[in-house]
Chains A and B, each alone.
Chain A
Amino acid sequence: MENRDHGVGARVGMWLFLLSEILLFGGLFLLYSVYRAKHPGDFHAASMELSRFDGTLNTAILLTSSLTAVAAVFSLQELNKPKRTIFFLGATIAFGLAFLVVKAFEWTAKFEHGLYPNAAVLMKRPPGEILYFGLYFTMTGLHALHVIIGMTVLSVILAFVVRGKATQERSAALENAGLYWHLVDVIWIFLFPLFYLIS
C-alpha cells in the first residue's frame, strides 16, 4: 500500500475543510461578481490604482511557495530526507512572509492615498469604486489572514519534523498542511486577475 494511504482518513477530512474554505470565500466572490457586473467601468478605473507589478510579484511569490511546499512533502514522503523538508518548509514560510510584506506596502500606499473604507477621498469617488475598494480590502485581508494561519500551521509542522514527530510513516499532518497552503495559493490565483487585471 502506498505510504500516503495510511493518512487517507485525515486527508479526506482536510479536503472537506478546504471545501468549506472555498465556500467561505465564495460568498465574497458572489458579491464581487454582482458589483462588477453592475459597475464595470468603475471597477476598471479603481483597479488602475493598484500596482500590477506588486500583484504579479506576489503571485510569483505564492506560486514558488507552493513549489517549495510540495517539495517539502515529497522530500519526506517519497525521499525520506527530513533535513530537506525542514529547508523547504522554512522557504515556504519565508515566501509567505515576503507575500505579507509586499501586501503591507500595498495597503499602506492605499491608506496614504485615502483609498480605504470610509475615507474622505474614497467617499467622493463613484459607488463602483467605493465597492471595489471595500471588496479589495475584505478579500485580500481575509486571504492574508489565511496566509498567516497557513504560516502558523507550517511552523508547527516544521517543529514536528525537527522533533521527529513527523516521519515518512507519519506524514499525514505535513501533507495536510501542504494542502492548506496550496489552497491559499489557489485563492490568490483567482484574486489576482479579479483585482489587478481588469481590462
Chain B
Amino acid sequence: MAYARYIYIWAALIVLTAITVTTASLNFGRAGILVVLAIAAIKSTLVLLYFMHLSSEKRLLLKLLVPIAICTLAIFIGLTFTDVMYR
C-alpha cells in the first residue's frame, strides 16, 4: 500500500510514546528528564524527516533551519543559566 511508510513511522511514534510513558514510572532521578527529552527528540526527528519530508528535501537551507532554531534556543537557555545557576 502506498501509505505504508507513513504507517510504519506512525507505529514507531506510538511505540516510542509507550516507552517514554513507561520510563517515566521508573525512577531515573536527575537523568529522568534527559531520557524523556531524548525520546521526544527522536519522535520529533521522525516527524520532521518523514512527515515533513525533510529527508527527501533537496534544498540544504531547509534541512538546516530546525537545527539552527534548536541551537539558538539552546544558547538562549544556556546563557540564561549562567545567571540563574550562579547567583
Contacts and interface: CB of A to CB of B under 8 A. Distances in A.
Interface of A is mostly: helix
B68 A19 contact: yes
A195 B46 CA distance: 22
Interface residues of B, number: 50
Given A29-B73, A186-B48, 15 more contacts: A8-B59, A19-B68, A19-B69, A26-B69, A26-B73, A26-B76, A63-B14, A67-B7, A189-B43, A193-B24, A197-B20, A197-B24, A197-B36, A198-B32, A198-B33
A22 B20 contact: no
Interface in A33-64: 33-34, 36-38, 40, 52, 56, 59-60, 63-64
B3 A199 contact: no
B21 A197 contact: yes
Contact of A11 (B43, B62, B73): B62
A145 B2 CA distance: 33
Contacts of A178: 51-52
Interface residues of A, number: 48
A179 interface: yes
A179 B77 contact: no
Interface string B21-44: 101111111101100110110011
A111 interface: no
A193 B6 contact: no
Contacts of A8: 59
A199 B2 contact: no
A199 B23 CA distance: 9
B52 A179 contact: yes
Given A12-B59, A19-B68, A67-B10, A78 B21 contact: no
A192 B41 CA distance: 12
A199 B25 contact: yes
B2 A74 contact: yes
B55 interface: no
